[in-house]
Amino acid sequence: MSQHAFKWILVYQDHLTNFVILRALTSKCAAEVAHNLLDIFLLIGAPSILQSDNGTEFTAEVITELKLFWPRLVMVHGKPRDAKVGLATSSLPQEIIQRMQTEDDLLAAINAEQPIDLQDDSAAVTKDEVLPAAAGEQILPSGVPIPMEDDPVLTEDEHPANLVASRIDMIRTERSASRSAQLQQAERMVKRSRLELAAGMPGDNVAIPIPLVDRGCGDPRNILGVIVDRDQNDMYKISVKSGMLKTRFSRNQFDLCPQKLLKESDVNCTQEVSLRQAVAKESKSGGQDSVRCNCAGNRRCESNRCKCYKSKIKCSSRCHSCLDCKNK
């Protein structure tokens, strides 16, 4: 079933490894097929020969489009044969192949293979002989073929190796520029934070925001404290009335108070407490774990069975589903 405008599938298969790549096409026109083939070439490399089992007319249109992008492309049509590549098809003698046991034996056999003797009559080329010309080439009197005018010649900048090298250089340049930009942005952020957030000194009053999960409904949003210590990493130790907070705070986790409402003698520096414990001790309603009851009956909240009555506090709206009682 076609998805949206895609109604065709391009199947590209490597003849040796049988590796298959699929591309969805909106049409089977030669221009779109050539564009997707070029994308595959840039992904896994261009083949020496491109073979298609479509008709010659379609093949000619595709190769015309691909010639604009890949001038050295060779394309044929017809059903492919099975690829049989191995030591059996190499130029090594069968006796040497049968004696091979490791990869080192193969490398030694390849290195020891003798090159073609130029003095051999079967492989020699005399000055009077003329080398055969390929299709589209002319022959000079000296026997050296030269390309025709319609045969495109790649410049040095258009060579695939130079294109890849220039692409790698561009990527490295962009990465270096990105790294420099990130460092500059980090320096600006640190400079701005130092200007906006002035450093606190021991004895200064601070207001620490209380998270919603650490305070009750009637508790204040901040708790007052006094800075007692500041380390080399600009981490602050703060004490409140109920004790010294266990964790250290960074500068952006509290606000400096312009007035000194508390002195160092007003806070407790001998006992360490968590922020929730400090809030609960200074809270008027018990802090985050506030007391509430679930009394029932006509005479509810009149005896020590009621948690609120036993704790000598008034019932709140959270007690016994907001029903009326005599302890309000």
The pLDDT tens digits of the residues spanning 176-190 come to 989 999 999 988 888
Give the 3-state secondary structure of residue 276. Answer: helix
> Residue 31 has what pLDDT?
78
> Residue 113 has what pLDDT?
56
Nearest by Cα to 208 from 236, 169, 174, 166: 236
Residue 157, C-beta contacts closer than 8 angstroms, at least 6 positions apart: 163
CATH code that applies to domain 1-105? 3.30.420.10
Which of 8-17, 130-139, 280-289 is modeled with the greatest confidence?
Answer: 8-17
Q: For the residues 80-91, what does the mean pLDDT come to?
A: 59
User: Cα 63 to the chain's mean position, in Å?
Assistant: 37
Nearest by Cα to 47 from 86, 88, 87, 83: 83
Average pLDDT, the chain: 76
- What is the token pair recorded at 162? 């130079």
Q: pLDDT band at 92, cuts 50/70/90?
A: confident
pTM of this prediction?
0.36
CATH 3.40.50 fits 205-282, yes or no: no
Residue 203 scores a pLDDT above 60: yes
To the nearest whole percent, how much of the chain has pLDDT over 90?
A: 7
> Residue 121 has what pLDDT?
44
Residue 99, C-beta contacts closer than 8 angstroms, at least 6 positions apart: 105
Q: For the residues 93-118, what does the mean pLDDT come to?
A: 68
Residue 118 scores a pLDDT above 60: no
